[in-house]
Amino acid sequence: MDFDLTEEQRMIQDTAYKFAVNEMAPVAQEHDREEKYARDVWKKACEAGLVGPVIPEEYGGAGMGFVEQALITEQFSRIDLGLCLCVTAAVFGSEHILFFGTDEQKKKYLPPLVSGEAISAGAFTEPDAGTDVAGIRTRAVKDGSDYVITGTKMFITNGTICDFMCVFCVTNPDAEERHKRQSIILVEADRPGVSAHKIRGKMGIRASDTAEIIFDEVRVPQTNLIGQEGFGFYQLMKFFDATRTMVAAQGVGLAQGALDKALRYVQERKTFGRPLFTNQAIQFQLAEMATKIELARTLTYKAAWYEDQGRTDPSLNAMAKYYAGEMAVWVCDKALQMHGGYGYIDEYDVQRFYRDAKILEIYEGAKEAEKMTIARRLI
Ligand SMILES: Cc1cc2nc3c(=O)[nH]c(=O)nc-3n(C[C@H](O)[C@H](O)[C@H](O)COP(=O)(O)OP(=O)(O)OC[C@H]3O[C@@H](n4cnc5c(N)ncnc54)[C@H](O)[C@@H]3O)c2cc1C
């Protein structure tokens, strides 16, 4: 692996950073306070070609790799993780179509995601099944040429604003192997029987839409099956390989943003008649923060690069996500501490970074789930 980014990758990084500074920074606090999805920012990002970069050109995308997507995600998260999700997660779930869909499904569902005409979601978690995702109960029963879907999904990103979602359902309840009972089925959000309820009061990423979704005998044609019936669990694991690396990139960007803020503050703030920065105790903490961020960045780029080479390494992806999430929580804690009392009030952005960081240890599989993947590989 070449450790230098190409000129084109640097340009993408730069474009994403400038977009985040100009379009996200001015509205980040407002969207956090009001728990409001940033539709305008998402639209502008689509116009700038920054949404769904890995979608191939033939389906309207830029045909870039996961390294490029990680670079964009990192720069957005450096400014605001909630708004980063409004943009990068607007295609969440559609990776199932990209990886396993038919050409017809790709032609129908992928281009509107890039052009800003549609938003997707991935509905896997249920009120009683998160880490143990194979324990879901949502049922899809065949009836004529349709599936009839009944069940409840929990904590679904974009739940109230999406146009369609890829839903993890039990289709083969009698299969002997527990992991061969599920499939991924695409459900349009306006189908009769679908109802979404926004979850308010999140600790962080408050601009991102999160919902509970109820499916009450929702009828979809069997042609909405994505991939192979009974192989949904394995498709979901492949999906997580790609998306977990992006969560790692979120952690790297968010931590870098917190470090940026801490660096600025310790040079401005004076205690005992001199800038905070002149204390070696502060300098050592800054050095540790920068080192951990660089370590997570290297791990993340490496995992994304392997993904691009078609050499997916689930253990490496899990390491990147678990380490970057934990690191981001740690870095944000240090950055807030350096701000003293000012860090604790919402006039200073660092408290938002601190609140936002925690989700990185929870979603896309909590960090314990990543450790299970790593340990399985070791043994
Ligand atoms: C803001 C937000 C957005 C989300 N977006 C989506 C989305 O778009 N789509 C979607 O499908 N889901 C989404 N989720 C759900 C998320 O992926 C789950 O919350 C996560 O996978 C954990 O599942 P759980 O909450 O059921 O926790 P549980 O599975 O109940 O686990 C509780 C705790 O116990 C730990 N634990 C569980 N089992 C073990 C074990 N065997 N050994 C050790 N520790 C264990 C877990 O790691 C966790 O810390 C979102 C969640 C949030 C909060």
pLDDT for res 189 = 98
Ligand 1 lined by 322 (C-beta under 6 Å): no
Residue numbers of the chain with a pLDDT score lower than 50? none
Q: What's the pLDDT tens digit per position in 72-107?
A: 999 999 999 999 999 999 999 999 999 999 999 999
- Res 359: pLDDT: 98
According to CATH, what is the number of the domain 7-99?
Answer: 1.10.540.10
Contact 146, 193 (CB under 8 A): no
Task: Give residue 96 CA to ligand 1 midpoint distance, Å.
Answer: 20
Atom of ligand 1 nearest to the CA of 129: 26
Residue 109: CB atoms within 10 A of its CB come to: 23
CA dist., res. 347 & res. 345, Å (int): 6
- The model's pTM is 0.97
The pLDDT score that the predictor gives to residue 1 is 53
Task: Determine the residue of 81, 85, 125 to mutate for testing ligand 1's pocket, defined as the one with the most ligand atoms within 8 A of the Cβ atom.
Answer: 125
What local confidence, expressed as pLDDT, does residue 2 receive? 56
Q: Which of 363, 370, 371 to mutate to test the pocket of ligand 1 (most atoms within 8 A of CB)?
A: 363
- Catalytically active residues are 364
Which CATH architecture does the domain made up of 120-230 adopt?
Beta Barrel (2.40)
Q: Determine the Cα angle at 32 with ends 10 and 353, to 5°.
A: 55
Q: 234-378 adopts what CATH topology?
A: Butyryl-CoA Dehydrogenase, subunit A; domain 3 (1.20.140)
CA-based nearest residue to 185, from 155, 142, 244, 154? 142
| Unique residue bearing structure tokens 């960045």 | 297
- Residue ranges of the chain that CATH labels 1.20.140.10: 234-378
Enumerate the CATH 1.10.540.10 domain ranges in the chain, comma separated: 7-99
